[in-house]
Amino acid sequence: MSKIVIDEKMKRTLIEKAIEVLPNSFAPYSKYNVAAAALFDSGNIYTGVNVESASLGATICAERNAIFHAVAEGDRKLLAIAVVGGRDGDIDDVYCAPCGICRQVMRDFADKDEMLVISAKSPDDYIEHTLEEMLPMSFGPEAL
């Protein structure tokens, strides 16, 4: 059982933290800026942004950047993540959703039925799904 309740205030906090770091995104090639804020069961929130490389395969998504930062700090149980982004950092046009690779990484650190994925345009305009809804019939650590 998690120590943290993901209420409206916490959702707002996650979205605000993601929006706050969005200007740090480094996307000179795609021009598609993304930021994420991930909540772990410790209560810690980790942020990340996408960082592109001229060797596109070396690019890292915002969600994985945040999750890997958490892992480096010793956190392992992901409860929720807020994602914002858009072309040239314009978050008014789309609900930015995690890519398939990021969804799989989330699956390694979360309870698929409880983990919340929040795609936001603003703290007041967002949609949410469980990880299970976003990655049905997923392959997880229990299968190994």
Q: Measured between alpha carbons, how far is 118 from 45 in angstroms, rounded to an integer?
A: 14
DSSP code for 51: B
CB atoms within 10 A of CB 64: 20
Phi, psi of 135 (to 5 degrees): -140, 70
- How far is CA 12 from each of CA 3, 83, 109, 126, rounded to the nearest angstrom? 18, 12, 22, 10
* Catalytic residue flag (residue 63): yes
Catalytic residue among 16, 20, 63, 133: 63
Catalytic residues: 63
